[in-house]
Structure 1
Amino acid sequence: MTRISSSASNTILISRFLQTQRTLQDLETQVGTEKRTQTYSGLALSSQRLLNIENAKSSLERFNSNNDQAQLRLDIQTTALTGIRGAISDFRELLLGFSNGDLTDPERIEQIQADAFRSLKDIQNYLNTEADGRYVFGGGTVRTEPVSFGLSTVSAFQSIYDGARVTYPTTREAHLEKFSISRSNVDLNPAHLTFEQTDAGTGKSRINTTASSGQFQNIAAGTTITISGTVGGVNDGVYTVDSVDPNGLWIDVRTEQLTDEGTALVPIFAEFSYPDPEDPRQMTSITTDVTFDRRTNTITAINADALEAIPEGSMVTISGTTNNNGSFTVASNDGTDMVVESKRLVSDGGTNSTLEVLGGGNPLTFSVGTGPNGEDQIITNTATFGTLEAGQRIKINNTNTENDGKIFTVQSVADDGANVTLTLASDESLDDTVPTVTTGVVALNALPFSFNAAERNFYFDAGAAGADEVVFTDGGAGQDTIALTGATFTDAKGNLLPAGTRITVSGGTGNDGTYTIESISTDGTTATLVATDNLAGGTATKTAAVLAGTGSITYTDNDPAADSITLGGGYFRDPDGNNLPAGTRITFAGTTGGLNDNTYTIASVSADGLTATLIPTDAVDDTTPTQTAGTISVGGTVGTISATSYYKGDTSTQTHRVSESRSFEFDITGIDPAFEKAIRGMFLILQGETGTEGGLDRNQNRISEALYLLDDALDRTNNQPPPFGAELDSNIEEMEIILGYRAVLLSDVKKSNETIISSFQTSVSSIEDIDPLEAITKLLDTQRTLEASYQTFARVRQLSLSNFL
């Protein structure tokens, strides 16, 4: 061994080299990043303090970022609000100028209504302002346009809101109503409504519900409602709610109709005021003795031609009566009989009732093709028929004609004082083989569904015309058939009689008896009997045969499945041919032994309409499965009553946190009272066509009412008495103040946050950052130390004992 260094000394030297190298690398990183360390652990006791400062700084930066987004939303709301203020203010000035001029000038009215239309469209556009992918006035509904007035043209709007029969809501509560009622809230029965044309002579029409309470309780008077889905559409339309039962059992809707008043012997001395034909802006008047007839909407002068000065199409204001004071529009006028336009409900629902039992003194005449447009007509001398209304349905029975068992719809009623003529719907056909009958029953068929198993639903007398025949065919191994010549197995609308109809044959045909129909041929002339029924006399052709149809009810206990009821000779359908909806409650009476006299709820109806399946909790008694007695009815009629608001958003608010301790709500929506009042005021002006009873020229009070709403929407100071009761306290001026305050709050907090963030950044820098001069000096010193160490190590490695010998 000649080396002086040992293994231990080498190890120590190398360890020192590596340590110096690490120190050099750390210093290089510090110089390159200007940070003391790349990990929190490198800061030792200062690391926790640094974390706290950085978290606080990050929180403030997030607040500033969120506040920038909130500021954008506020800026856009402010811009939109400025536009809305301009639209309201401009229209207010226009309306104020209009109020100081001729309020009956058609051109000026047309212009102010056009201004209202334009202003409403502008407001709608502003309220549908979108920012950053969200609508700013929709509350929590941010992806759907929150406001829709449904405006297309002025005339289209006025065709609905005529200002007389249907008026625009005057209160906030009525203006913002939104609901849809199609079933009873007690038992979910869809057939829960009844409609009355007149409410005990008040001149209003009434909608009742079978619900025990509360169905209509929350509906505000003045609400615009839409009625749809009524049987035959007879009561579909738009109406204004006039009053509501405190218990929610009925709604009275605003109608325009006369009330029966006066007679030829005791007439009513009335005054009629109407626009002068030479100058419609001037009113003229006449007085004369008249009578009023509600059903025909006719005012009849006792003296011929006493009303001839009143032009058709004009508005007439009646005074001096007990029940008919008001304004009406003249539909036609021959000088003696003046017919006014009406808007009212058709009585429907309730109960079926006998209208007339025919006799020698009150016959019924069937007249085919004699209506104004070729419709069939029924003529009678009985005044009872004069109470019928267009749209109502009647059922004829026991007249021993082919009209028995058929339901007809009244299209119009004419009463000339001697006879009442009913014109039927154009798609319904009478049989006039026997033109006049003195026996039988005519019933008012008010229900959307009723069935009487024992009642005649078909009648055919081959001998009535002298040339008709009934052909009985024994099918041998197949099924027997009965065919008609000169008639068909159909109802009033030409629909085939349903399977299960029971046909009773009489007239000494050899085949007299009762048979059940399984099916009817497509042309309606041939009925195929069920396989278990065989013609007693076999094949034969008879000219004196009489066929009368009745029905049956079959009860089926399907335990453990739901029970069902099947009709023979009838359908679970309404007069429009629609299957009764699920939830309909049907009431049975007169069943065998009363075992099924009950009320059941329908779960479903088969596609062919013959079978109703009940809900599982309803059970039938099938001791006698098929019965030929019993009646079925529903408690009311169907229909949907709904109201819609211009606002499609919601009322939820969004809280924005400006800082840890400060926040505010984004709570300005399209139904804010300030917007709603202005919108309501403009619509008051827009409704009603000039020259009509609902026109602005005839309802000048709307100008002051609209001005109040516009003033109340704009400013905080409005000392005028509110025309429609107290309004909610909100206005554009307050909104601008609120938005301005929020913008200042955001700005102040942002400035404060930026100052604090700057201080935090200084503290972070004092902990994290290095002194570059000091770090570079240390780097160079360490580098020289490392280089010297390498040189010394190399020199020591070269030393040997041999060098000293």
Structure 2
Amino acid sequence: MVTRIADLSFTTSMVGRLQQLQANLLEKQVQVSSEKKSQQYSGISDHSQRLVSIENLTALNDRYVRNNDIVGTRLEVQWNAYQATEITITDMRDRLETFLEFSTSDETAVDDIQDWAYKSMLAIESQLNAFVDGQYLFAGSKTHTKPVDFGLTNLSDFQAKYDGEKVTYPTTRDAHLVETSLSEDTTGNSTSWLSFNATTNIITASTSAFGTLKAGSVFTVSGSPSNDGNYSVRDAYAFDTSALDAAPTITLPDASTLTNADFGTLSYSNPVTITAATASSLSGIAVGDSITIAGSTDADNDGTYTVSANTGTVLTVVPNKITVATAFDTSALDAAPTIDSSVSGVGDLTAADYGTLSFTTPNTVVAATGGSLANLSVGDVFTISNATDSDNDGKYTVLTNDGTTMTVTSSTLTTEAGVAGTITASNYFKGDDTVLTHRIDKDFTIDMDINGIHPAFEKAIRAMGIIAQGTFGTAGGLDANENRVTEARWLLDSALDQVTGEAPPYGTEVSGDMVSLGFNIGFKQILMEDTKERFTKLNTVLTVQADEIENVDLALAIAEFTDASTALQAAYQAFAQAQSLSLADYL
């Protein structure tokens, strides 16, 4: 109406003011309900950068805490496995101490300690296969692979493989941890690369192929015509003589040759070195080169070899020969066997000739009738059959003979040259030695470096295998090898505590024991707990700082909300009153 006082301009201005008051009330209402100054960083623009930084740091710390909790759980399980393994090793050591009070001729005591050693190996296998969060804890980087597998079924099967004489449980770490599979020589020849010599018990590869096999390691031959089976390495070498040699020719990979005009003379040193008389004359041969030696005075030194080190004057090559360990299985008197000689003119020998035979270790045969073995000469090969203990049957080569007493070597191999075959050696550890790392914060990481071949575990396992091998009453039994008891005890002492006060029985050992291992795990656990506590405290401080930036003073916010509500109500009333004013009221 034309008499109304409030015009369009006034109404528009009042509506805009009402909208401002409504927006302010809504903002105050949200602040009261959320207790936050703003729902957007723009609402606290002066402090938004600092708040974002605090929130990012808090989130990062929370991630570290979560990840550390996961690793902390793994360390806890690892610690439990460690404690159980320490108890197993300690119990085995204590049992061995008690066994020393008995005679090794006590069959019951021997059987008990061997059974305990075998069961202790099974216990350690279970303990080192600790599994949590879908990962094996002692497997290195192969966390989805069960790390320890002895492949054991029962003690009898274990002793059938490791008879303690022909096949002995490895006594050194290097031999214990050999892992290899060989089915061809370095040239790729897989059909005729192996030769077996029954007289010398030597297995020869056509080229240097036995670098991974160590003295004392156990390997299996398969796929050969006549020599499949398990063997122990007595020696791995390239040259069986240490002699000066002026004749040979060395053929290099490029087909060029070196002769005595170049190197003067060559001196072969057992097991794997060649020394030239002329200094630096071999410097053109690189590590990894395959060289062929021919024309040696001792033809056994001829062959193709891979160079593993070179000073220019002295070459070191990879072994191509291994000798297997052999011996009699029992020390006993035997009236029954027949000696079948392969020597022309020497017929079979029976009890009518020698009376009785006495087998004694190591590798000795004694006839009751003096001089009855005189027709067998050093180097002769003969076969024993029908022995009371059939394990003493076999083919033997005479090493010494005074006519009554012979020392022999057992021909466990069957002679065959240039044949196919696969040589495999496998250890108990199926993981790897890759060291995983875990970042506990932005500046510090820890190594997750404890695996199933830690020296403490390996020494203990080796000691148990040495005790468990060989059955009572055989040449490989514990009763015939009393030294194994004190040697295994040293390994167990060293596994528990590095300080033993005695010289190591099998040469220098890799340092590492359960005491230091416990410190290692315990330190990591303490570090994880301290780090978690540090992050928790830091995040508490950061949360307070963030709250100071983004949180409202609730009492003040409620008061401001009340004021905004009152202002809006007053505005509505004023607007309504202004809208109702008319000039007609004043006329």
Which SS does the other structure have where 1:297 is aligned? Answer: strand
Find the counterpart in structure 1 of residue 135 from structure 2.
134
> Is 1:210 the counterpart of 2:171 in the alignment?
no
Which has a greater percent of helix?
Answer: 2
Task: Give the Å deviation of 1:781.
Answer: 0.6
Whole-angstrom distance in 2 between the partners of 1:732 and 1:270 = 56
Find the counterpart in structure 1 of residue 221 from structure 2.
227
> Is 1:323 the counterpart of 2:315 in the alignment?
no
**1:142-187, Cα deviation, whole Å (9 max, x unpaired):** 1221101111111111111111111111111111111111122223
Find the counterpart in structure 1 of residue 158 from structure 2.
157
Find the counterpart in structure 1 of residue 309 from structure 2.
none
Match among 507, 527, 533 for residue 745 of structure 1: 527
Match among 325, 343, 347 for residue 254 of structure 1: 325
Contact 1:168 1:683 in 2 (8 A): yes
> Is 1:243 the counterpart of 2:235 in the alignment?
yes
Question: What letter is aligned with 2:470?
Answer: G
Contact 1:297 1:342 in 2 (8 A): no
Task: Give the Å deviation of 1:272.
Answer: 6.6
Whole-angstrom distance in 2 between the partners of 1:286 and 1:760 = 94
Contact 2:178 2:212 in 1 (8 A): no
Find the counterpart in structure 1 of residue 412 from structure 2.
344
Contact 1:315 1:692 in 2 (8 A): no
Closer/same/farther in 2, CA of residues 756 and 260 from structure 1, 3 Å limit = farther
Find the counterpart in structure 1 of residue 548 from structure 2.
766
Which SS does the other structure have where 2:55 is aligned? Answer: helix
Find the counterpart in structure 1 of residue 287 from structure 2.
none
> Is 1:103 the counterpart of 2:104 in the alignment?
yes
Which SS does the other structure have where 2:523 is aligned? Answer: helix
Question: What letter is aligned with 1:253?
Answer: V
Question: What letter is aligned with 2:28?
Answer: L
Question: What letter is aligned with 1:33?
Answer: S
Whole-angstrom distance in 1 between the partners of 2:488 and 2:102 = 16
Which SS does the other structure have where 2:563 is aligned? Answer: helix
Closer/same/farther in 2, CA of residues 724 and 269 from structure 1, 3 Å limit = farther
Which SS does the other structure have where 2:419 is aligned? Answer: coil
**1:292-316, Cα deviation, whole Å (9 max, x unpaired):** 58644239xxxxxxxx9x9545979
**1:53-112, Cα deviation, whole Å (9 max, x unpaired):** 111111211111111111111111111111101111001111111112111111111111
Find the counterpart in structure 1 of residue 431 from structure 2.
649
Question: What letter is aligned with 1:707?
Answer: R
Structure with the bigger RCO (C-alpha within 8 Å, sep 6+) is 2
Find the counterpart in structure 1 of residue 196 from structure 2.
195
> Is 1:36 the counterpart of 2:37 in the alignment?
yes
Find the counterpart in structure 2 of residue 181 from structure 1.
182
- State how 1:598-609 maps to structure 2 within 5 Å: none
Match among 754, 757, 763 for residue 539 of structure 2: 757
Question: What letter is aligned with 1:195?
Answer: F
Q: Quote the RMSD (CA, aligned, Å).
A: 3.1
Whole-angstrom distance in 2 between the partners of 1:241 and 1:153 = 24
Contact 1:256 1:343 in 2 (8 A): no
Task: Give the Å deviation of 1:286.
Answer: 4.9
Whole-angstrom distance in 1 between the partners of 2:98 and 2:343 = 44
Find the counterpart in structure 1 of residue 511 from structure 2.
729
Question: What letter is aligned with 1:720?
Answer: E
- State how 1:513-532 maps to structure 2 within 5 Å: none
Closer/same/farther in 2, CA of residues 45 and 754 from structure 1, 3 Å limit = same
Closer/same/farther in 2, CA of residues 47 and 90 from structure 1, 3 Å limit = same
Contact 1:180 1:640 in 2 (8 A): yes
TM-score, normalised relative to structure 1 = 0.56
Contact 1:216 1:244 in 2 (8 A): yes
Which SS does the other structure have where 2:416 is aligned? Answer: coil
Closer/same/farther in 2, CA of residues 89 and 22 from structure 1, 3 Å limit = same
> Is 1:711 the counterpart of 2:493 in the alignment?
yes
Task: Give the Å deviation of 1:795.
Answer: 1.2
Closer/same/farther in 2, CA of residues 659 and 120 from structure 1, 3 Å limit = same
Task: Give the Å deviation of 1:223.
Answer: 1.1
> Is 1:785 the counterpart of 2:567 in the alignment?
yes
> Percent of aligned pairs with the same residue?
35
Find the counterpart in structure 2 of residue 23 from structure 1.
24
- State how 1:79-90 maps to structure 2 within 5 Å: 79-90=80-91
Whole-angstrom distance in 2 between the partners of 1:10 and 1:2 = 15
Task: Give the Å deviation of 1:116.
Answer: 0.5
- State how 1:228-377 maps to structure 2 within 5 Å: 228-231=222-225, 234-245=226-237, 246=272, 247=317, 248-256=319-327, 286=368, 288-291=370-373, 292=376, 295-298=381-384, 312=389, 322-323=399-400, 344-349=412-417
Closer/same/farther in 2, CA of residues 769 and 273 from structure 1, 3 Å limit = same
Task: Give the Å deviation of 1:655.
Answer: 0.7
Contact 1:165 1:343 in 2 (8 A): no
**1:122-158, Cα deviation, whole Å (9 max, x unpaired):** 1111011111111111111112211011111111111
- State how 1:348-747 maps to structure 2 within 5 Å: 348-349=416-417, 636-747=418-529
Whole-angstrom distance in 2 between the partners of 1:255 and 1:221 = 14
Whole-angstrom distance in 1 between the partners of 2:234 and 2:433 = 27
Contact 1:184 1:190 in 2 (8 A): no
Whole-angstrom distance in 2 between the partners of 1:188 and 1:802 = 122
Contact 1:98 1:112 in 2 (8 A): yes
Whole-angstrom distance in 2 between the partners of 1:665 and 1:324 = 60
Task: Give the Å deviation of 1:323.
Answer: 3.3
Whole-angstrom distance in 2 between the partners of 1:154 and 1:732 = 26
Whole-angstrom distance in 1 between the partners of 2:233 and 2:445 = 43
Which SS does the other structure have where 1:783 is aligned? Answer: helix
Contact 2:190 2:420 in 1 (8 A): no
Whole-angstrom distance in 1 between the partners of 2:492 and 2:410 = 33
Contact 1:262 1:290 in 2 (8 A): no
Which SS does the other structure have where 1:776 is aligned? Answer: helix
Contact 1:274 1:314 in 2 (8 A): no
Task: Give the Å deviation of 1:690.
Answer: 0.4
Which SS does the other structure have where 1:642 is aligned? Answer: strand
**1:733-782, Cα deviation, whole Å (9 max, x unpaired):** 11111111111111111111111111111101100110111001110110
Whichever of the two has the greater Rg, that structure is: 1
Contact 1:314 1:691 in 2 (8 A): no
Whole-angstrom distance in 1 between the partners of 2:137 and 2:108 = 38
Consecutive unaligned residues in structure 2, runs of 5 or more: 238-271, 273-316, 329-338, 361-365
Whole-angstrom distance in 2 between the partners of 1:92 and 1:796 = 103
Contact 2:326 2:409 in 1 (8 A): no
Contact 1:226 1:239 in 2 (8 A): yes
